[in-house]
A and B are shown apart, each in its own frame.
Chain A
């Protein structure tokens, strides 16, 4: 499937900002599930200082906002050819060792709630089946709902709050999988919802590593494994590692963000 994507993120500040940086992971890379036909990330009101591959081999840009701006706009657009691999990315490895994906971060540190979910792993002799059961259990425990969690919410906090978005679901899933000893990671990317061109927001899901299969994707929020409507942007141990955009700025200005995302065939 050929997906045409335009993803615009606009930040505005209530007073001019003298110095601000944005770390941008908005460039999809080729893998068995996707081939990037063309792609461009344009910055309005800022300069790309450099690009590099991070520890997860994510294409990363460091953007400096032009001094004393009130607004910066980041536009990622292009076309990606996708395949349906029934969720299996396979034995695709970077430099990070598999054990790294068993390490917890502040956002994925397991507490009682995660521990309870992690006990699902091992109930049958198929890890793959157990992970699908885990995925459903996460959505049951934390039904989709905006407002209860924010960008820095941890997996355990999201369980306590009783509701969450795709970021929370993916973090709870990876936290529980790791707790059960399965290497797991967070994925940020795009999902084309069939019934619309204008999508709500960018998406997040999880991947777990299984003997024999390699990396397998789980979109917990939608209860399926990623198919040809998904485009992977970045991976990491948690939502901070794989954040499409994260930034720092000097001074006291407040930031507000507007996202527009169009995906179509």
Chain B
């Protein structure tokens, strides 16, 4: 589809020139030799290849590894913009944790009729094994990646709450490191809030969620499904950066009522397990019996209060896209406040009137699977062919409850560096949030994903998107 003229560009603002947060960067950029920047851009790619950041694309030739393209023009937010965003994210994340506790315990929000029971009772992400238990510190979503899009100066929308296992934080860190490596002088001219504390903060935040039974310094570990997982790089990167063990299911055993890992000095108890294995594969004793990736009995150890699992099992109920449409009510119910960040208008296709509207306006809408992620299985109406539209119409009619639809937002753009010049491309933002019993902390910035094709609105790396360094300026 062609780019909408009314798109808000975060760097250049019509005839008024450069937007304030980009002032200093634009001055620097203007004084740079484009040939040098082109060379730098190539260097960045080599840098990424050396550090080994790659990802696997599902559905392509077996375990094909690709680099996510990196663009060297940063996405810049002012400290004022960030303060407002982070307040909105914190409010949302607190509400999500209160919601999860409520859903697995008293279910006040269902009794009050604010969220329909069917949305929970018929939800595949509802995990019965979580009923009636409170995880240590009542924290469910230790790590959240809230996807945010922007359409105007003050118009930020939350697109998705990734409350299960948000990935991408390793790109945020590597992008900054690459920029610091390539343009050290830039960071002495412009004061940017650092992100490099993330691994240290992640470790501290996880440790603060250790079970009550834990005495002394909590032991944290990262559980990976193994090298064939598309995010394996990130699992090993984070373990390495935090200075903790990276383990697989077969390294772990139940020992003295705890989960322990095999080390050269025998078995060592794990207090907090940052797991990157999905719920249903987590414990063959309690979930899928055939799973070889998980840890038998870990749910029993968890219910007995002897380990913290991050994120808690069953959190998927909160990032379901049908639940998403109730998030403004959920925030109000638990915080007593109006949502600071807006939700994108969402049609639930399970409702007949909405389904009819969606079918009539399919070519204008974005349709997503309720449990989908990564841009798989979605329809971007304005970019779809007739054939794709009619195929999707059939899907919607046969299983309407599986879909939600949203308007095609005119996402803001930020320039990328092309061979000739700066060219606007659509972006989104995934800030990374850490939750512990007393604190919600958000790394300034996050991961900016950028659609590299002119006019494209799909920023997912699996669909050809790239990334940018994200700057939040010091005051």
Contacts and interface: CB of A to CB of B under 8 A. Distances in A.
Interface residues of A, number: 27
Chain B interface main SS type: loop
Contact of B128 (A23, A49, A62, A237): A237
B303 A21 contact: no
Interface string A51-83: 111110100101010000000000000000000
Interface string A212-249: 00000000000000000000000001000100001110
Range for the number of chain B residues in contact with chain A:
20 to 34
Interface string B303-320: 111100000000000000
Contact of A55 (B107, B132, B255, B297): B132
B254 A62 contact: yes
Interface in B186-233: none
Contacts of B110: 97
A195 B427 CA distance: 77
Interface of B: 105, 107, 110, 117, 121, 128-133, 253-257, 284-286, 289, 296-297, 300-301, 303-306
Shortest 4 CB-CB distances between A and B: which pairs? A95-B132, A55-B131, A50-B257, A50-B304
A55 B121 contact: no
A116 interface: no
A54 B286 CA distance: 11
A248 B289 CA distance: 8
B253 A50 contact: no
Interface of A: 19, 21, 23, 49-55, 57, 60, 62, 64, 94-97, 99-100, 102-103, 237, 241, 246-248
Contacts of B105: 95
Nearest to B283: A248
25 contacts: A21-B254, A21-B285, A21-B296, A23-B286, A49-B254, A49-B256, A50-B257, A50-B306, A52-B300, A54-B129, A55-B133, A57-B132, A60-B300, A62-B257, A62-B297, A62-B300, A62-B301, A95-B132, A96-B128, A96-B131, A97-B110, A100-B131, A241-B128, A248-B285, A248-B289
A103 B300 CA distance: 22
A52 B304 contact: yes
Nearest to A23: B285
A21 B128 contact: no
Contacts of A94: 132
B129 A55 contact: yes
Contacts of A19: 253
A121 to B, nearest CB: 19
Given A51-B304, A62-B301, A102 B128 contact: no
A237 B126 CA distance: 14
Nearest to A48: B257
Contacts of A248: 284-285, 289, 296-297
Given A21-B297, A49-B297, A102-B121, 20 more contacts: A19-B253, A21-B254, A21-B296, A23-B285, A23-B297, A50-B300, A52-B304, A54-B129, A55-B129, A55-B133, A62-B254, A62-B300, A94-B132, A95-B131, A97-B110, A99-B121, A100-B128, A100-B131, A237-B128, A248-B285
